[in-house]
A and B are shown apart, each in its own frame.
Chain A
């Protein structure tokens, strides 16, 4: 069977599985809908958290980013895993003991303030929507590349599937489909990685293969060879970074704190039966995440090596099929600057801007580009996102592996999109409609609002996926900065400080959010020409500014709380209560 038939088969079978699970686990109450009734086993919750967490960006883009950034790519590896330590030690067990449905629930109750709740809802919606649009786009890209349908139709099919199981099953349906999606995506990630590690080094474990000797008789290890090859071509060595130490530090910190502050991750820990389960479950989640995250740097390094081997100093005519098929899609471009028919790969952009083709073919059969060339010796443009998707083809793996990767990419995007849509709809139905405007709702009415909110959120997310505003791709990474600067400090102080009052918390959240937002908007949209080290405060890029935003949040809250009325006695009792596990009930106690 050819790749396309196999892909239809794999993706179709996985969809049937998700829908079957959703029908088997429909939600009957708001507790089912928001927190799966609080009965999820910690290992299952760990798996669901991993699928929830690992988005299309982790699955498709991360290894490619690391392949091209080398050491600098470490910020994503440490940043997106280290946050789980903060979550497990500082937030998850206490929030589970608190036993409500949403993050704004906690902030609203702990800070005895509707304003605090609404500020939390706004932060949550801003963070989650920027994120979810990127997921819908990811579904669309996989569909258009592997199933040969328009991106628009890809997004609509993805929306349909998510609609079915998120609206019907709520958190309960999502949890068990996410368990299945985790299995699909991790299998799809590891199989090609193991094959490629075998091919390059003869070692079947990619994590060890990254340090092993290349099987080409040179006697060099993978990283030594990569360093040498890159330096020969004029790049910096792979294992050295080009970002400044302070920026690496700030970005890593912002991603860690942001991870711990992401609402769709936090709520997963409301679904386990006990406080002790919330602690353990974070550990299982990180094990499942680490399987992919420790493999990604190996995949990235092998991919870079294979790519250079295949492309550099080779005639265009001898390029394999994948090179030409990605060129057809517009993600690879070659500009034969010295007109020798041979591809030269070197540092720097080959031409200005993204590749723009006319409809003609050059003398070697390549698609001709209209972009003005740059001065660099580099002739080839390659989109980082194709590394994982093209890897099986680059390494000449069988067609079923390619189809598997497509199914994995779709699983990664759908699972994250569903988790995000759920927190958006719970915040709207529970925090805004029920707890702010219409306190008289019955459980059944609230459940209906939750389903309507989920349906509307899917529609908006789908619209953004089909018509991405130019800034979506850039902004997704900043969801972390915003979560770090707004939600994380407020929750942390709510647990660890008796003295933190509503005035302090609200002032802190608003300061952190406004500062971070303004810094990012200034450098990304108002004055993008200033977006480099010389203009950044303390040399910290917009990606890392969330760390400073979080610090400002803490500082503002501490100062304001000193000069404003003390916390009421019943809140002190509440804090005392969440600090001990005993008495954790089912997560609803209104």
Chain B
């Protein structure tokens, strides 16, 4: 691959990763916490109605994990496509 192709492949990989993570972001907050909250509330989760737990606790924990997964995966992509920063 020449550097232009590399750059394009890097960007495609980045978009794919971001799309997957944003789909999870949407599912846990707008999906579980808003749209599906009523059916999920029939399930008991450690003393919480499950939908309520997603809205007030669970979604926030998942958000944190998503950002760290992104930071970690992107660093690997940076190296794989040789576009990482040279540590100064």
Contacts and interface: CB of A to CB of B under 8 A. Distances in A.
A binds B: yes
Interface of A: 66, 71, 73-74, 77-78, 81-82, 84-85, 88-90, 93, 207-208, 210-213, 221-224, 239-241, 245, 248-249, 252-253, 256, 273-276, 279-280, 282-283, 286-287, 290, 293-294, 297, 576, 579-584
Nearest to A300: B56
B75 interface: yes
A437 B58 CA distance: 49
Nearest to A256: B29
Contacts of A89: 18, 21-22, 66-67, 70
B22 A85 contact: yes
Contacts of A90: 18
Given A286-B63, A294-B60, 20 more contacts: A71-B37, A71-B56, A78-B59, A82-B29, A84-B67, A85-B67, A89-B70, A208-B46, A211-B53, A224-B47, A240-B41, A241-B37, A245-B34, A253-B30, A273-B88, A290-B63, A294-B56, A294-B61, A576-B7, A579-B14
B87 to A, nearest CB: 8
Interface of B: 7, 10-11, 14, 18, 21-22, 25, 29-30, 33-35, 37, 41, 45-49, 52-53, 55-57, 59-61, 63-64, 66-68, 70-71, 74-75, 78, 83-88
A283 B48 CA distance: 26
Nearest to B57: A294
A552 to B, nearest CB: 20
B21 A276 contact: no
Contacts of B33: 74, 78, 252
Judged by DSSP, the binding face of A is helix
B7, B25, B52, B78: which has the most chain A beta carbons within 10 Å?
B52
Contact of B78 (A88, A240, A276): A276
A85 B47 contact: no
Contacts of A85: 21-22, 25, 63, 66-67
A309 B14 CA distance: 53
Q: Which 3 A-B pairs have the closest CB atoms?
A: A211-B47, A74-B55, A283-B67
Nearest to B78: A581
27 contacts: A77-B55, A77-B56, A78-B29, A78-B33, A78-B55, A82-B29, A85-B25, A88-B70, A89-B66, A93-B74, A211-B47, A222-B47, A223-B52, A239-B41, A245-B35, A252-B30, A253-B30, A273-B88, A274-B87, A276-B84, A279-B74, A286-B64, A290-B63, A579-B7, A580-B7, A580-B83, A581-B78
Given A78-B29, A279-B74, A582-B84, A297 B56 contact: yes
Contacts of A212: 47
A239 B52 contact: yes
A78 B56 CA distance: 7
Given A85-B66, A211-B47, A279-B70, A249 B83 contact: no
Nearest to A496: B15
Given A286-B63, A290-B60, A211 B85 contact: no
A84 B63 contact: yes
Which among A93, A576, A580 has the greatest number of chain B C-beta atoms within 10 A? Answer: A580
Contacts of B45: 211
A539 B75 CA distance: 43
Contacts of B67: 84-85, 88-89, 279, 282-283, 286
B55 A290 contact: no
A276 B74 contact: yes
A581 B61 CA distance: 28
Contacts of A256: 29
A419 B35 CA distance: 35
A290 B61 contact: yes
Contacts of B78: 276, 581-582
Nearest to B69: A283
A541 to B, nearest CB: 15
A280 B71 CA distance: 6
B71 A287 contact: no
Contact of B10 (A73, A93, A287, A580): A580
Contacts of B10: 580
A211 B46 contact: yes
Nearest to A79: B29
Q: In this complex, which of B18, B48, B86 has the most chain A Cβ atoms within 10 angstroms of its Cβ? A: B48
Nearest to B47: A211
Given A211-B48, A580-B83, A81 B70 contact: no
Contacts of A73: 56
